[in-house]
Amino acid sequence: MPDTKDHIVSSFDKELRTIHEIIIRMGGMAENQLSDAVDALVQRDSAKAELVRKEDAKIDALEEELEAAVIQLIALRQPVANDLRAVIAAFKISSDLERIGDYAKNIAKRSIAINQMPPQKSVTSIMRMSRLVQEIVKDTLDAFSNSDKDRAIDVWHRDEEVDEMYTSLFRELLTYMMEDPRNIGACTHMLFIAKNIERMGDHATNIAETIYYLATGERLEGKRPKGDRTAFQILTPDDGEGEVEI
């Protein structure tokens, strides 16, 4: 019965495409949320930050919609092998995108606090780091749309650049805190904002790994060059160059 078989295959493909469209929408929203959250910080615009906080619920709702679609697709089409892997991959990717959205929301919250303190010098570095991560998220979504494993590898390597920016920003912020204790409150929020952006990069990298695994059946993990060494950093006012890497 080739007709029935074709019919089943095309129904599956059509429903998987619907799931992929949800992912693309989630990804676009997550990208915008990051951009708007950092704009709210740079422009000291707390109203914009409030908007970002509220918008996050839409990404969460899309994740729930995707979960329901995944369960329905598996139950109705009973996919196996690569088809099933593609569905599970979509499920994993949506949870990474939802987390990226959460981090944007957290940045928005913190920018509301920072907007009530004196302007911060590190805002420019945050903006630069955020632009890089936005590009990476965008490229990850392109790699996903085109099942492009080479682009996935490219994205995966660029996370190192994010980690390096984060490490440098971490040192910059600690230096400001040491220079003047009045900076400590705002710089602490900036540290967490930087960490949030760095974590967004990690989630984009997770997505790249999922795309690569789906395309090749092999795992990229374990080969990633790690640029973020701040967990090992020792920096004191007496010892400004005292970075110890273990």
Site string for its own copies, 109-138 (x = CB under 8 A): xx-xx--xx---------------------
User: Nearest 5 degrees, angle CA 140-CA 141-CA 142?
Assistant: 90
Applying CB under 8 A, the site for its own copies has a residue count of: 48
Please pick, from the candidates 24, 42, 84, 215, the single residue that binds its own copies as defined by CB under 8 A. 84
Site string for its own copies, 149-178 (x = CB under 8 A): -------------------------x--xx
20 binding its own copies? (CB under 8 A): no
Q: What one-letter code names the amino acid at 229?
A: R
Please pick, from the candidates 8, 24, 42, 74, the single residue that binds its own copies as defined by CB under 8 A. 74
**Of 8-16, 26-34, 138-146, 234-242, which part binds its own copies (CB under 8 A)?**
234-242
- Give the sign of the dihedral formed by CA 32, CA 16, CA 147, CA 166: positive
Please pick, from the candidates 25, 188, 215, 227, the single residue that binds its own copies as defined by CB under 8 A. 188
95 binding its own copies? (CB under 8 A): yes
CB of 115 to its own copies, least distance (A): 10
DSSP class of residue 231?
G
Q: 177 near 121, Cβ under 8 Å?
A: no
CB of 100 to its own copies, least distance (A): 14
Q: Which of 95, 109, 100 is nearest to 51 (CA)?
A: 109
Chain centre to alpha carbon of residue 199: 6
Cα–Cα dist 78/82, whole Å: 12
What DSSP letter does each residue of 159-196 carry, written as one string?
Answer: HHHHHHHHHHHHHHHHHHHHH-GGGHHHHHHHHHHHHH
**Of 3-11, 19-27, 91-99, 134-142, which part binds its own copies (CB under 8 A)?**
91-99
Q: Which of 172, 10, 2 is nearest to 77 (CA)?
A: 10
Helix (H) / strand (E) containing 91: helix 81-114
Q: Which of 103, 136, 134, 127 is nearest to 208 (CA)?
A: 136
45 binding its own copies? (CB under 8 A): no
Please pick, from the candidates 16, 162, 191, 204, the single residue that binds its own copies as defined by CB under 8 A. 191
190 binding its own copies? (CB under 8 A): no
Q: Which residues bind to its own copies, rule: CB under 8 A? A: 60, 64, 67, 70-71, 74-75, 78-81, 84-85, 88, 91-92, 95, 106, 109-110, 112-113, 116-117, 174, 177-178, 181-182, 184-185, 188-189, 191-192, 195, 219, 221, 231-238, 244, 246
